[in-house]
Amino acid sequence: MIIMYRTGALLILAMLTLAASRAQAAQLVTDLSEHQVRIRSNFNGTQILLFGAVEVNNADERAQDRDVIVVVSGPSRPVTVRRKERVAGIWVNHDSLTFPKVPGYYAVASTRPLEVTAGVDVLQREQIGIDNVNFGTAFAQSMDGGAEILPADQEKDFVKALIRNKRRENLYISDPGGIVFLGQTLFRATVDIPANVPVGLYTATVFLLRDGEVVDAISSPLYIDKSGLERFLYRFAHNSALLYGLIAVFGAALAGWIASAVMRER
C-alpha cells in the first residue's frame, strides 16, 4: 500500500513538474471536435474539426514566423506494393515490396506549405509530411515469391507509388493553408476522414513552430471504430469465422427456401 501510495505521489509530482515545464513553454492548447468516430451502416466519411489557441508572449511578436502544423495519422500496418509488367501480352503483378509500417491514414494541414515552414531535417525528425514518414525497412520479392534486392532508385519508385495510391484513395491528404487563424491566437482546421478509412487508434498532433523550429507539440488520441451492426458482423466474421460462415450459408439457404415457398403459394 505504502509503495503504491509513494509511486502514486511520485507520479503526481512528475506530472506537476511536467505541467510546470510545459507551462513555461505553454504556448499551445488544442482539442478535437470528436475523439471517437463510429462507423455505422450509414457511414460515408466525416470531418474532424481541430481547434486550438497559441499563446502570444509579447505583443510585438511577428506572426509571420509562427506556423502551426496538424498531423493526423492512423494505425500503421505492413503494406505490399506490387508493380505490373507485361508478360505474354498480359499485365501481371511482378516485383513487390513490403513496407513493415505504413500509416493507413495520414493527413497534414498547415498554415503555409510545409517546405517553407521548416527545413527538411526538422520535418524528417518529427516525421511531418508523408514524404518524411519512415515506412521501415522494405522487403522485396520477385514474382515467384523469392526474396530479391531492388536498386535504391527503384525502391524510391515503389515508395512514390505507395503514396500516390494512398492519395488516390483519399487516405493521404495534405492541405497547405488548411489551418485558418481567427485573429492572433485562435486557429482551426478541418480534417477529412474518408469512408474507406481503416479502423484503429489515431493520433492528432499539433506542432507549433517558430522560425522553423518546433517549440511545442500536443498529441491527442482519436479512436475510429466500427459500431453497431458493422462492428458486430466484422468481429463475428473474424473471431468465429466458422460459425459466421455456417450462419451466412444457412441463412442464404433459408432465404431460398422461403422464396420457393412463396412462389408455390402464388
Partner 1 sequence: MQIYLPIAELPVNALVILAMGGAVGFLSGMFGVGGGFLMTPLLIFIGIPPGVAVGTQSTQVVASSVTGALAHWRKASIDFKMGGVMLAGGIAGSITGIFIFRLLTKIGQVDLMISIVYVVFLTVIGGMMMAESLRAMLAERRGTPLPVSRGGQHSWIHGLPFKMRFRRSKLYISVIPPILIGFFVGVLSAIMGVGGAFIMIPAMIYLLRMPTSVVIGTSLFQIVFVTGLTGVMHSVENQTVDAMLGLILVVGGVIGAQYGVRAGSRLKGEHLRALLAALVLLMGLRLGWDLVTPPADLYSITDAMPHT
Q: Which stretch binds partner 1 (CB under 8 A): 42-50, 54-62, 107-115, 212-220?
A: 42-50
Shortest Å, Cβ 139 to partner 1 = 9
The residues pairing with 260 across neighbouring beta strands, listed in sequence order, are: none
CA-CA distance, 66 to 68, in Å (whole number)? 7
3-state secondary structure of 67: strand
Using rule CB under 8 A, residue 185 touches partner 1: no
Q: Please give the DSSP secondary-structure letter assigned to residue 132.
A: G
Q: Which stretch binds partner 1 (CB under 8 A): 6-14, 59-67, 180-188, 191-199?
A: 191-199
CA-CA distance, 266 to 262, in Å (whole number)? 7
Question: From the list 42, 58, 134, 137, which residue makes contact with partner 1 (rule: CB under 8 A)?
Answer: 42
Cα dihedral 204, 210, 211, 214, rounded to 10, equals -50
Question: From the list 23, 59, 149, 242, which residue makes contact with partner 1 (rule: CB under 8 A)?
Answer: 242
Shortest Å, Cβ 54 to partner 1 = 37
Using rule CB under 8 A, residue 77 touches partner 1: yes
Question: From the list 15, 25, 120, 195, which residue makes contact with partner 1 (rule: CB under 8 A)?
Answer: 195
Shortest Å, Cβ 1 to partner 1 = 39
Question: From the list 161, 180, 215, 217, which residue makes contact with partner 1 (rule: CB under 8 A)?
Answer: 161
Phi first, then psi: give them for residue 261, nearest 5 degrees.
-65, -40
Using rule CB under 8 A, residue 44 touches partner 1: yes
Which string of DSSP letters, residue by residue, matches 177-245? T--EEETTTEEEEEEEE-TTPPPEEEEEEEEEEETTEEEEEEEEEEEEEE-HHHHHHHHHHHHSHHHHH
Shortest Å, Cβ 60 to partner 1 = 49
Using rule CB under 8 A, residue 230 touches partner 1: yes
CA-CA distance, 47 to 249, in Å (whole number)? 37
Using rule CB under 8 A, residue 256 touches partner 1: yes
By the 8 A CB rule, do 106 and 71 touch?
Answer: yes
Question: From the list 89, 149, 183, 265, which residue makes contact with partner 1 (rule: CB under 8 A)?
Answer: 89
Using rule CB under 8 A, residue 73 touches partner 1: no
Q: Which of 106, 95, 119 is nearest to 198 (CA)?
A: 106
CA-CA distance, 62 to 40, in Å (whole number)? 46
Given the rule CB under 8 A, which residues bind partner 1? 39-45, 77-86, 89-93, 96, 98, 143-145, 157-158, 161-162, 164-166, 168, 195-196, 198, 226, 229-231, 233-234, 237-238, 241-242, 244-249, 251-253, 255-257, 259-260, 263
